[in-house]
Amino acid sequence: MIDFLIGLFLASLIVALFTSRLYRLLFWYSLNSLTLGLLALFIGEELDDKAMLITGIATIVIKAAGIPYLLKYLSQKFHLVRQIQPEIKVQYAIILIPAILVFTFYLSEPITHMIRSGSNDIAVSISSLFLSLLLMMEHKNVAPKIIGFLCMENALFLLGITATDGMPMLVELGIFFDLLMAIVVINLLLHKEEANQ
């Protein structure tokens, strides 16, 4: 089940790379976050770790529902461009993504022996980090970049949840706080943009 979710996580991210519409992108992102949340819940109840459960719920509420909605609202408010064409050609992307996956597995090969939950999780999260970077670099407009950044956050969480069975509560809350802060700042920046225009 967990592996399935991880797979789903990765898949949603990869699909997000190919979308050329903003709302579609938001949808994929929320799906991505949803899988992350579910992952947290499952692992949490597997090791009955309260903190993990809270994280999972928070993730689902904030990331899967809240932020996508907020972004959609903002994009409507400030008329952001919805037509987002990936800069990197599809042909390249097709080669790149598997290459990244292979590389990350090769990278995490020496650590297979050590952590309980296996090195594949680390591999997957690193690759998702790279993929979200890819997402950032293949778009010019602001909105997809923000989403890329959020995906990166997700990758972090994935790492935190799977590889290390959850970080200290404090840290996770702090990360959430910063995320909200980021959204606020983004909001302000967009405001200014309007003011300038």
Residues forming contacts to another protein in the complex (CB under 8 A) are 88, 92, 96, 99, 103, 106-107, 110-111, 113-115, 122, 126, 129-130, 133-134, 136-137, 142, 145-146, 148-149, 152-153, 155-156, 159-160, 163-165, 167-168, 170-171, 174-175, 177-178, 181-182, 185-186, 188-189, 192-193, 196
Q: Cα–Cα distance between 182 and 50 in angstroms, integer?
A: 27
Paired tokens of 61: 């509420």
Nearer to another protein, 57 or 115 (CB): 115
Nearer to another protein, 12 or 119 (CB): 119
Q: Cα–Cα distance between 22 and 28 in angstroms, integer?
A: 10
CB of 80 to another protein, least distance (A): 13
Nearer to another protein, 41 or 155 (CB): 155
3-state secondary structure of 21: strand
CB of 3 to another protein, least distance (A): 18
DSSP string, 55-124: HHHHIIIIIIIIHHHHHHHHHHHTT---B---SS-HHHHHHHHHHHHHHHHHHTGGGTTTSTT-SHHHHH
Nearer to another protein, 76 or 112 (CB): 112
Torsion sign across C-alpha atoms 160, 161, 166, 169 = positive
Strand partners, 21: 83
Nearer to another protein, 15 or 173 (CB): 173
Nearer to another protein, 61 or 88 (CB): 88
Q: Cα–Cα distance between 133 and 5 in angstroms, integer?
A: 21
CB of 178 to another protein, least distance (A): 4
CB of 88 to another protein, least distance (A): 7
CB of 69 to another protein, least distance (A): 21
Q: Cα–Cα distance between 60 and 95 in angstroms, integer?
A: 32
CB of 117 to another protein, least distance (A): 10
